[in-house]
Amino acid sequence: MANTLSLPPQLDKIVQRFKRRNDPKQKYQQLLSYAKKLEPMPEEAKIPENKVSGCVSQVYITAELEDGKVHYLGDSDAQLVKGLVALLINGLNDLPPEQILEVSPDFIEETGLKVSLTPSRANGFYNIFQTMQKKALGFQMAQQQET
């Protein structure tokens, strides 16, 4: 079982929100509402370097480091996947790279979403998560080289 204490506060809030919904349909609706609220990603950011590989749908993630915190933008052509992107962005945005790297993707089990995700979507979730962590790692390494 994943240790909830290790989740950043915003991500923990999201996990708790999903845990309160027992019906898979409600969990889907929750995901879709995240998708609707996702900050739009500029079309020019949808380039191969920002594309998440290993996803059936088109998924893009960008990251910028501002004041030592990572700010993500993302998008997907599939609403449910866009919801997963939004969940991750809402949960990981504006955290320092070190904190993002400490998060284990196992929290998806706690949301109860994993059981409702098709294997390819669950796999896509992990690929999106890993892409976000890779970007955070890149920032962390760049910061270490500066010091």
Domains and CATH numbers, the chain: 4-146 (3.90.1010.10)
CA-to-CA separations, 64 to 22, 93, 117, 119, 136, in angstroms, rounded: 36, 10, 29, 30, 9
Length of the chain: 147
pTM of the predicted model as reported, rounded to 2 decimal places: 0.92
Q: What is the pLDDT of residue 2?
A: 41
Which residues are known catalytic residues?
Answer: 55
Q: Do the Cβ atoms of 106 and 23 come closer than 8 Å?
A: no
- pLDDT means over runs of 10, the chain (147 residues): 67 95 91 95 96 92 97 96 96 97 93 86 94 97 85
Contact 62, 74 (CB under 8 A): yes
For residue 118, what pLDDT is reported? Answer: 85
State residue 3's pLDDT score.
Answer: 42
pLDDT of 66 reads: 95
